[in-house]
């Protein structure tokens, strides 16, 4: 990760924290989250809008006027004021990272964990249900997993939750056994 990326993440976290606090105070956490996703998708899908809002040649007043015409009727006032603040501070370019940070805070606020469950093969509904039950019990949170397939793990599961990884894959177990065997046998003989 580049230093500029780390700096943007820290800045985005500050903006996001201020926004989530405002959203909680006004009991609009979900609405503002939906608004942010709508704004980001609208900007991404419209190249002309993207160019107008991010182009340094376009005046700040024009950018704000464009944003208000496009978004004001569709989003909450808090969200609109936040977008105008990002524009004022020339920070609209970090909107995606602000949304990532807001999403993490939003999930924490709603007591939701979003782990990534990696398996070697497609899991059936019964297996997915058991995984969700066990994770909800362990984490004391509602679990909304994302499932991916990676045949390289051979079997078992790898579960990534935030910055933690639970690796119960056969590949890891085989690698661990291989390391132990190459060090010498269990009786200390080489």
Q: Is 70 exceeded by the pLDDT of residue 2?
A: no
One-character DSSP codes across the chain: --HHHHHHHHHHHHHHHHHHHHHHHTT-HHHHHHHHHHHHHHHHH-HHHHHHHH-TTS-HHHHHHHHHHHHTTTS-HHHHHHHHHHHHTT-GGGHHHHHHHHHHHHHHHTTEE--EEEESSPPPHHHHHHHHHHHHHHHTSEE--EEEE-GGG-SEEEEEETTEEEEEEHHHHHHHHHHHHHH--TTS--
Q: Is 90 exceeded by the pLDDT of residue 18?
A: yes
Q: Is 16 exposed, middle or buried (0-12, 13-18, 19+ CB in 10 A)?
A: buried
- Where does the pLDDT of residue 181 fall: very low under 50, low under 70, confident under 90, or very high at 90 and above? confident
Backbone angles phi, psi at 109, to 5 degrees: -60, -40
Over residues 87-108, mean pLDDT:
93
Backbone angles phi, psi at 112, to 5 degrees: -120, 135
Q: Is 70 exceeded by the pLDDT of residue 105?
A: yes
Looking at per-residue pLDDT, the higher value among 9 and 70 belongs to 70
The CA distances from residue 140 to 110, 111, 159, in Å, are: 12, 8, 16
Q: Is 80 exceeded by the pLDDT of residue 184?
A: no
Over residues 24-41, mean pLDDT:
96
- Where does the pLDDT of residue 174 fall: very low under 50, low under 70, confident under 90, or very high at 90 and above? confident
Q: Is 60 exceeded by the pLDDT of residue 95?
A: yes
Strand partners, 165: 160
Q: Is 60 exceeded by the pLDDT of residue 113?
A: yes
pTM attached to this predicted model: 0.74
């Amino acid at each position: 990760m580049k230093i500029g990326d780390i700096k943007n993440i820290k800045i985005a976290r500050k903006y996001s924290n201020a926004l989530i606090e405002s959203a909680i105070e006004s009991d609009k956490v979900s609405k503002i989250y939906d608004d942010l996703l709508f704004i980001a998708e609208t900007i991404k899908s419209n190249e002309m809008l993207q160019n107008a809002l991010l182009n340094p040649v376009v005046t700040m007043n024009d950018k704000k006027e464009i944003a208000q015409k496009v978004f004001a009727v569709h989003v909450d006032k808090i969200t609109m004021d936040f977008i105008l603040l990002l524009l004022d501070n020339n920070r609209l370019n970090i909107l995606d990272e602000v949304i990532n940070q807001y999403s993490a805070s939003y999930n924490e606020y709603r007591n939701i964990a979003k782990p990534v469950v990696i398996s070697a093969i497609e899991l059936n509904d019964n297996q997915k249900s058991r995984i969700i039950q066990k994770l909800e019990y362990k984490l004391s949170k509602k679990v909304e997993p994302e499932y991916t397939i990676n045949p390289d793990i051979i079997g078992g599961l790898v579960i990534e939750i935030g910055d933690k990884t639970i690796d119960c894959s056969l590949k890891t177990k085989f690698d661990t056994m291989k390391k132990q065997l190459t060090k010498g046998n269990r009786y200390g003989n080489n």
